[in-house]
Amino acid sequence: MTAALVAVCLTGAAGPAGAVEVVPHRAFYTMSLAAADSRSNIADVEGAMLFEWADSCDGWAVTQKLAMTVYYSTGESSEFGWNLTSWESKDGLKYRFFVRRTEDGSEELPLRGDAKLDGPGKGGSAHYVQPEERTVDLPAGALFPTAHSLALLAEAEAGTPFFFSDVFDGSDEDGLFGVGAIIGKRIPPEKGGDDRAPLLTEAPSWRLRLAFFPHANPAPEPEHEQIFRLHGNGIAEELVLDYGDFSVRAALGKVEKLPTPGC
Note the pLDDT of residue 12: 45
Note the pLDDT of residue 196: 61
Per-residue pLDDT of the chain (263 residues; tens, 9 = 90+): 443 444 434 544 444 334 447 789 999 999 999 999 988 899 999 999 999 989 998 899 999 999 999 999 999 999 999 999 999 999 999 999 999 999 998 988 899 999 999 999 999 999 999 999 999 999 999 999 989 998 999 999 999 999 999 999 998 888 899 999 999 999 998 776 565 667 888 789 999 999 999 877 666 788 899 999 999 988 999 999 999 899 999 999 999 999 888 77
**Reported pTM:** 0.87
pLDDT tens digits, one per residue of 8-67: 345 444 443 344 477 899 999 999 999 999 888 999 999 999 999 899 988 999 999 999
**How many angstroms separate the CA atoms of 27 and 45, rounded?**
20
Note the pLDDT of residue 63: 94
Backbone angles phi, psi at 149, to 5 degrees: -65, -40
Nearest Cα residue to 163 out of 145, 190, 184: 184
Q: Which residues of 102-121 are buried (b: 16+ CB within 10 A; e: fewer)?
A: eeeeeeeeebbbbbbbeeee
**How many angstroms separate the CA atoms of 183 and 158, rounded?**
11
Contact 233, 21 (CB under 8 A): yes
**How many angstroms separate the CA atoms of 248 and 225, rounded?**
11
3-state secondary structure 184-228: CCCECCCCCCCCCCCCCCCCCEEEEEEEEEECCCCCCCCCEEEEE
Contact 78, 47 (CB under 8 A): no
